[in-house]
């Protein structure tokens, strides 16, 4: 599998709105595999299309080892509660900040087999899903940060 180049803050592609994926082709399947490899190699928990220069609604999330969510055309369909926690981003290396997110989300997406499914996520998984879906709309966590964290606070 190919390791893709992760785009960094300042790259215009990160600020663009992504288009839906119309068909699941062999190229889309390869992209999913490459995104997972790239995310893991960078020690991330999520990666979205624009972060690797692809302006399509596609993302991967893995907050628990071995449990990968492949998200094609994901959409948040329900939210509840609130949480505030530290976030970082592979596209904003070395910086972390506090961000308010929903505590619970329901996300509808399509998997690699073309099947629509829903994820009912809580806490950290909800945060990760919201973070990656924001990328698909050209939003970075630094746009929502309530306070940037110092190196001492990060630990």
Instruction: Express each pLDDT in 119-128 by its tens digit.
Output: 999 999 999 9
| Within a domain: 143 | yes
Extended beta strands in 1-155, E state: 46-48, 58-64, 67-80, 83-89, 92-101, 104-110, 116-122, 145-148
| Within a domain: 3 | no
Domain encompassing residue 142? 12-154
Q: What is the pTM assigned to this prediction?
A: 0.96
Q: 37-58: per-residue pLDDT in tens?
A: 999 999 999 999 999 999 999 9
**Which of 82, 84, 132, 151 is the catalytic position?**
132
| Within a domain: 81 | yes
Phi, psi of 79 (to 5 degrees): -135, 155
Strands 46-48 and 58-64: antiparallel
Q: Note whether 47 and 31 are within 8 A (CB).
A: no
| Within a domain: 6 | no
Structural domains counted in the chain: 1
- Nearest Cα to Cα of residue 21 among 61, 51, 48: 48
Low-confidence ranges of the chain (pLDDT < 50): none
Q: What is the pLDDT of residue 1?
A: 57
CATH code of residue 67: 3.90.45.10
| 116 among known catalytic residues | no
- SS3 breakdown of the chain: % helix, strand, coil, rounded to 5? 30, 40, 30
Q: What is the pLDDT of residue 152?
A: 82
- Nearest Cα to Cα of residue 6 among 56, 46, 33: 46
| Within a domain: 1 | no
């Amino acid at each position: 599998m190919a390791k893709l180049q992760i785009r960094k803050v300042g790259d215009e592609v990160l600020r663009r709105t992504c288009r839906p994926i119309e068909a699941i082709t062999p190229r889309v399947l390869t992209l999913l595999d490459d995104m997972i490899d790239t995310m893991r190699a960078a020690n991330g928990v999520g990666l979205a299309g624009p972060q690797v220069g692809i302006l399509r609604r596609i993302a991967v999330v893995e907050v628990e080892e071995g449990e990968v969510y492949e998200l094609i055309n994901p959409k948040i369909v329900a939210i509840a509660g609130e949480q505030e926690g530290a976030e970082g981003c592979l596209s904003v290396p070395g910086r972390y900040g506090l961000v308010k997110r929903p505590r619970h989300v329901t996300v509808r997406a399509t998997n690699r087999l073309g099947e629509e499914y829903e994820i009912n996520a809580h806490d950290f998984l909800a945060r990760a899903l919201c973070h990656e879906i924001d990328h698909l709309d050209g939003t970075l966590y630094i746009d929502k940060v309530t306070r940037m964290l110092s190196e001492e606070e990060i630990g």
